[in-house]
């Protein structure tokens, strides 16, 4: 908290006549900066020469921590979120003979982008699409 100074307030400043840090009365302000002060010891008026009160308080920047994607979560909602954020270019076009594994991203001609959440031997896979989970034919290893 910065105490707002104004003319008439008392500050300590270096006085060239006293060659010491003495109590001063503020004579003039420029904005919120003390401009001229009167030395209480010698009565001399001079420019305020003490940078101490203008020290900027360094505010600690609050970094927004990067949220790690819940990769272990197998809930459909989590997978749907991943699909929304997934890069369509990384998806493999769906093919009945495609070899897939859980976690693969596929591009289906009708359902669009999907993520494989389960495989059912010998030839089925469960895929989450934007509009729900579908069971598709595939080639399960
Ligand atoms: Zn003085």
CA-to-CA distance for 62 and 57, rounded, in angstroms? 15
Number of domains observed in the structure of the chain: 2
Q: Is residue 65 part of a domain?
A: no
**1 Cα to the center of ligand 1, angstroms:** 29
**12 Cα to the center of ligand 1, angstroms:** 11
Residues 6+ away with beta carbon under 8 Å from 53: 5, 11, 34
CA-to-CA distance for 137 and 95, rounded, in angstroms? 8
**31 Cα to the center of ligand 1, angstroms:** 24
The pLDDT, as a whole number, for residue 55 is 46
**19 Cα to the center of ligand 1, angstroms:** 7
Q: Is residue 67 part of a domain?
A: no
**2 Cα to the center of ligand 1, angstroms:** 26
Band of pLDDT at residue 82, cut at 50, 70 and 90: confident
Angle at 99 between CA 97 and CA 105, to 5 degrees: 110
**5 Cα to the center of ligand 1, angstroms:** 20
- What is this structure's pTM? 0.43
What pLDDT digit, counting tens, does each position of 108-141 carry? Answer: 999 999 999 999 988 899 999 888 899 999 877 6
Q: Do residues 76 and 84 lie in contact, with contact meaning Cβ atoms separated by under 8 Å?
A: no
**46 Cα to the center of ligand 1, angstroms:** 9
Instruction: Extract long-range pairs of 37-40: CB within 8 Å, 24+ residues apart.
Output: 37/11, 37/13, 39/13, 39/15, 40/10
CA-to-CA distance for 107 and 95, rounded, in angstroms? 9
What mean pLDDT do residues 94-109 have?
A: 90
Indicate if 81 and 128 belong to the same structural domain: yes
Indicate if 81 and 38 belong to the same structural domain: no
- In terms of residue numbers, what domain contains 86? 76-137
């Amino acid at each position: 908290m910065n105490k707002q100074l104004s003319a008439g307030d008392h500050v300590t400043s270096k006085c060239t006549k006293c060659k010491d840090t003495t109590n001063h009365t503020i004579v003039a302000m420029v904005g919120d900066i003390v401009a001229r002060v009167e030395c209480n010891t010698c009565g001399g008026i001079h420019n305020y020469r003490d940078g101490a009160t203008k020290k900027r308080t360094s505010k600690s920047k609050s970094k927004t921590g990067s949220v790690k994607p819940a990769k272990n979560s197998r809930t459909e909602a989590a997978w749907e979120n991943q699909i929304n954020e997934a890069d369509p270019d990384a998806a493999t076009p769906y093919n009945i003979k495609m070899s897939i594994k859980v976690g693969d991203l596929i591009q289906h001609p009708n359902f669009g982008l999907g993520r494989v959440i389960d495989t059912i031997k010998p030839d089925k896979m469960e895929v989450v699409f934007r509009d729900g989970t579908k069971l598709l034919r595939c080639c399960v290893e």
